[in-house]
Structure 1
Amino acid sequence: MSQIQNVAELLDDAARAARSVQQVDPEGRLSVADAYAIQAASIERRVQRGERRVGVKMGFTSRAKMIQMGIDDVIWGRLSSGMQVEEGSALKRSRFIHPRVEPEIAFVLKKDLAGDVTAAEALAAVEAVAPALEIIDSRYRDFKFSLTDVIADNASSSGFVVGAWNDPRQDFSNLGLTMNIDGRTVQVGSTAAILGHPLRSLVAAARLSAAAGEPLRAGWIVMAGGATPAEWIAPGQYVSVEMERLGVAGFHVGE
C-alpha cells in the first residue's frame, strides 16, 4: 500500500473512531499535491461505504488566516452526504474529537461550474444562497497541524448545517451576521470577511475543483468559508447563525 493510501486510511479511521492522531507531516515534507491526493483517497473510502459527494468547502478564506499559514491561496475540502446535519436537529458530539463551529454562507448550484470563471459566470450558476454553519474537527492531537496536514485531513471539515435557501439575485456581499450559543451572541461578523465577497470563494472553488478533475456539479453545495473565528461546542448547547436578510440556521449538540 502506498504512503498516500496509508495516510488516507489513518485519517479516515481516526474520523470514524473519533480519536486523535499525531501529525502526519510535522516537518512539511509532503507536497500540497500529495496532501490533496491523501484527502481524495480518504473521501473515496467514504464513497465506497455508501456516502455520496454533495459539494465542496472552502478554507483559509480570510486574509489573516492566509498570512498566518504562509500561503497566498485558499484551500478546499470535499463534502459528503454523511457530513450533512439537518437544520434544527441534534448533532452527536461523540462523533467528533474536539469540534468547533463557524458561520458561513452556502451556495447550491443549478448547473455545472468549472475552471476559470468570472464572478458573473459563477453567480449565474447559483440556484440559491443560505445561512450555514460548518463543524470543523481536526483529527490531529491538540488541533495542531501544518498546511499539508490540514489539507490531507479534508481541510478539517467534518459536518455542515444549511438553513433555508434564498434568491441569489440580492446583494449578499456584506450581510451582517451573529453566531449564537444558547441565545448568547459569541461572534459578530459579515459575509464580506469571506475574501471581501463570498462570490470570490465560489470562483476559487470552481478553479481548484476543476484542476483536481472534479468540477463543481449541478446540485452541489459550496460552503464559502468562515465569516468569523470558530467557537468550541459542547453537549447540551444550541448553536445558531442569524444572517441579515437570509435568516437563521442552527443545530442542537447532543451527547
Structure 2
Amino acid sequence: MSETDIQTLAERVDDAARQARAIDQFATGSLTVEDAYAVQAASVARRVQRGEAPIGIKLGFTSRAKMVQMGVEDLIWGRLTDAMLVEEGGEIDLSAYVHPRVEPELAFLIDKPLAGRVTLPQAQAAIGAVAPAMEIIDSRYRDFKFDLPSVIADNASSSGLVIGAWRRADLDIANLGMVMSLDGEVRQVGSSAAILGHPLRALVAAARLVAEAGMSLRPGDVVLAGAATAAEALRPGQHVDLRVQYLGGAEFHVAGPGGAS
C-alpha cells in the first residue's frame, strides 16, 4: 500500500474518532495486517501533531476465546496518549464516543526499558508498579463490526483508560479476583488469570510486538494488559466501579442525559 493510501485511511479513522462518527469497515482484503499497523501509526501521529503525547500501549485479544473468535494466532496492540486518560473518579461524556464499552484490566507502569523477546522474570523486573484499570473501547465502525485489519487500523478500538492507585510491583498478580459493577450491580466477575493465563505474559508479548515495530517500552510508559472479562456497553448516567483483589479499585461516572454535569 502506498504512503498516500496509508495517510488517506489514517485521516479517515482519525476523523471518525475525533468527530465520534461511525464509518464502514474497510473492504475485506483491502488491508494487510502490516498495512493496518501503518495506518494506525499514521492516525496516532496526527493526534500527536495536534498536541497529544504518547504514554504507552494497550493489548487486545488476550484471551484464547477471543483469538479463536477472530481467527487469529497473536495479540493485537494499540497506542495510548495522554488525551485518552480519564481521571479516576471522574466523568466521561458519551457524545465523545460512537459505541463505548468498558472492560476490566490491569495496568503496568514501566520502570526500565523493555523490548524484544524477553522472559517472564525480565518482564517482572521492568515493572515499577501495577494498578487496577479499565479501558474504554470504542470501535468507530458501524454496528461495531470489523475484521482484523480494520480494528488494528482503528487503534485496536482504544479510546480511554481509567487507572486506580499504583501498587508495588512485586505483588502476586497471577490470579486476582476482579469484579466490575455498573450502578452497584455486579456485571462482570473474572480473574487476572484470564489475561493469557498470567498478566505478565501480556507484558512479554508487548515487548515483542513493539520491537517488531521498531519501538521500545520506556520508563514511564503504561501498558494495559488486556481484558479480564467481556466488555459492558456504557449508558448515560452510569457509575462504573472495578474492584481487584489486593490491588483496590478504580471508578468513573458517565454523564447523564444532556451531557456533562
Structure 2, gaps ≥5 residues long? none
Equivalent residue for 1:188?
Answer: 189
Q: How much has 1:247 moved relative to structure 2?
A: 0.3
CA drift of 1:93 comes to: 1.1
Check if 1:175 corresponds to 2:176. Answer: yes
| Cross-structure match for 2:238 | 237
**Residue matched to 2:229:** 228
Cα distance per residue 1:13-33 (max 9 Å; x no partner): 0001001001113x1331100
Structure 2 residue 207 is the aligned partner of structure 1 residue 206: yes
1:238, CA displacement in angstroms?
0.6
- 1:83-232 correspondence to structure 2 within 5 Å: 83-232=84-233
1:15 paired with 2:7, answer no
Unaligned runs of 5+ in 1: none
The alignment yields a C-alpha RMSD, in angstroms, of: 0.8
Give the 4+ runs in structure 1 shifted more than 2 A: none
Give SS of 1:2's match.
Answer: helix
**Within 2, Cα distance between the matches of 1:74 and 1:50?**
29
Aligned-residue offset at 1:185: 0.4
Identity within the alignment, %? 61
Question: What amino acid sits opposite 2:167 in the alignment?
Answer: N
Per-residue deviation, 1:3: 1.1
- TM-superposed CA distance for 1:76, in Å, is 0.3
Q: Once the 2 structures are TM-superposed, how far is the Cα of residue 235 of structure 1 from its aligned partner? A: 1.3
1:48 CA drift (Å): 0.2
Letter in 1 for 2:96: R
Inter-partner Cα distance in structure 2 for 1:214 and 1:253? 35
Question: In the alignment, is residue 3 of structure 1 matched against residue 5 of structure 2?
Answer: yes
Which letter does structure 1 place at the counterpart of 2:252? F
Map of 1:65 onto structure 2: 66
Amino acid at match of 1:82: A
* 1:179 CA drift (Å): 0.5
With the length of structure 1 as denominator, give the TM-score of the two structures: 0.98
Q: With the length of structure 2 as denominator, give the TM-score of the two structures.
A: 0.96
1:78 and 2:100 correspond: no
Counterparts of 1:28 and 1:113 in 2: how far apart (Å)?
34
